[in-house]
Amino acid sequence: MPKIKPALFRPTPANLTRLANQLRRGGIVGVPAETVYGLAANALDATACARIFKAKGRPANDPLIVHLARAADIGNVALTNPAAERLAEAFWPGPLTLVLPKKPCVPDLVTSGRNTVAVRVPAHPVFRRLIKACGFPLAAPSANPFGYISPTCAAHVRDSLGNTELRAILDGGDCTIGVESTILDLSDPAHPRLLRPGGLALEKIESVLQQKVLGPKKSGKLTLGSSAPAPGMLPQHYSPHTPVRLHPALSLKNIQRIPANEAIVLLLRPRQKTLLTPNVFWLSEAGQLASIARNLFGQLRQLDQGAWLKIHVELPTSNEGLAPAIRDRLTRAAAKV
Ligand code: AMP
Ligand code: MG
């Protein structure tokens, strides 16, 4: 049976109105964000949000992030506090998600039955224009089949969510950040806790809060109603079908030992001519963390479509900037169930 592929829509005013109407009627739409592409539905409509879980094959105990057009709308869905307001002022629109006590209008399905809701104002102008055209917040997880590599352009969404209920993707170009948002639990504002490293560096959050942020708790069993602090943060996630092997830093000798039918992904473009072999790839010309993050998922996806027996990837070693987020995604991509 041929795969039914959803259509791509350019962000014209007419298309934004059309897609907002689809969302108003309870439909799902692929949306661009600065982080990764999302699969959006009306966050206040449980039946619409159920379509997201179905299309992704996402388990019901993995709650959704609610996206707002502006920080001033936060009080519509969550109970805010001074720490949250300071962070929103500093980093929204942007790749920071705050977990806060929820308002009753947010369906239990969206929060997986929790009394907290994850909220963010995305920086992608097209996404924000769509939310404004809707007039209601949009729940949107990454637009990939559950567990697979996240999409960083509209074509990735079209290629991996064909044959689902998804019919339309708003094309906003390539994602500029390329990894998901940083998630911070502020439901107890005195004890902010990092739930997921992401597109906003932890040190920037700490400098605004003027306080250390606690690290993620080890997640417990992921059953419904479980008390694991970061639901959905499974050890295996963001995974290509091809096995991934991680390496601290690959020396020339180590690289030359890897067979030609296994791909090697370096962080930095190699200077040695001997390394410019067809199985060697790199994520950044100069090794900057921002471009490594931007290229990471697209490179893994492209290699996963090739005939490589394994994908070897170098891990960034620093604890600054986007390095923890890149390490987190790679570690989960390499994890075995
Ligand atoms: P995704 O949208 O696929 O990047 O995943 C969103 C992630 O946000 C989930 O997997 C959870 O880890 C986290 N999340 C969403 N809502 C909550 C919440 N109420 N409490 C804690 N974590 C949340
Ligand atoms: Mg995801």
CA 249 to centroid of chain Cα atoms:
25
Distance between first and last Cα of the chain: 31
Q: How far is CA 184 from CA 77, 98, 117, in A?
A: 17, 5, 11
Whose alpha carbon is nearest atom 3 of ligand 1? 141
Element (H, E) at 16: helix 13-24
**Cα–Cα nearest to 38, from 184, 236, 177, 133:** 177
93 pLDDT higher than 90: yes
Distance, CA of 88 to CA of 86 (rounded, Å): 6
Q: Which of 160, 179, 183, 239 to mutate to test the pocket of ligand 1 (most atoms within 8 A of CB)?
A: 183
User: Residue holding tokens 């067979």?
Assistant: 259
**327-337 per-position pLDDT tens digit:** 999 999 999 86
Q: Check residue 220 and give its pLDDT.
A: 43
**67-90 per-position pLDDT tens digit:** 999 999 999 999 999 999 999 999
pTM: 0.95
Ligand 2 centroid–CA 8 distance in Å is: 21
Ligand 2 centroid–CA 150 distance in Å is: 6
Distance, CA of 325 to CA of 208 (rounded, Å): 20
Average pLDDT over residues 227-235: 66
Residue 65 in contact with ligand 1 by CB distance below 6 A: yes
Residue 142 in contact with ligand 1 by CB distance below 6 A: yes
Q: How many residues does the chain have?
A: 337
Q: Check residue 114 and give its pLDDT.
A: 97
Return the ligand 1 atom nearest residue 181 CA.
4
**3-44 per-position pLDDT tens digit:** 789 999 999 999 999 999 999 999 999 999 999 999 999 999
Average pLDDT over residues 156-180: 95
Distance, CA of 68 to CA of 53 (rounded, Å): 20
Whose alpha carbon is nearest atom 17 of ligand 1? 118
Classify the C-alpha dihedral 45-95-37-15 as positive or negative.
Answer: positive
- Of 48-57, 111-120, 216-225, 250-259, least confident by mean pLDDT is 216-225
Average pLDDT over residues 129-148: 97
Element (H, E) at 267: strand 263-268
What the chain holds in terms of domains, given with CATH numbers, is 7-209 (3.90.870.10), 244-334 (no CATH)
Q: Which ligand is nearest to the CA of 181?
A: 1
Ligand 1 centroid–CA 99 distance in Å is: 8
Residue 293 in contact with residue 199, Cβ under 8 Å? yes
Percent of the chain past pLDDT 90, that is, above it, reads 88
Residue 116 in contact with ligand 1 by CB distance below 6 A: yes
211 pLDDT higher than 70: yes
Average pLDDT over residues 96-104: 98
Distance, CA of 131 to CA of 294 (rounded, Å): 24
Structure tokens at 249: 């830093």
Q: What is the DSSP string of 170-217?
A: E---S-SS-SPPEEEE-SSTTS-EEEE--SS-HHHHHHHHTSPPBPPP
- Of 46-55, 226-235, 248-257, least confident by mean pLDDT is 226-235
Q: Which of 36, 99, 175, 182 to mutate to test the pocket of ligand 1 (most atoms within 8 A of CB)?
A: 99
222 pLDDT higher than 70: no
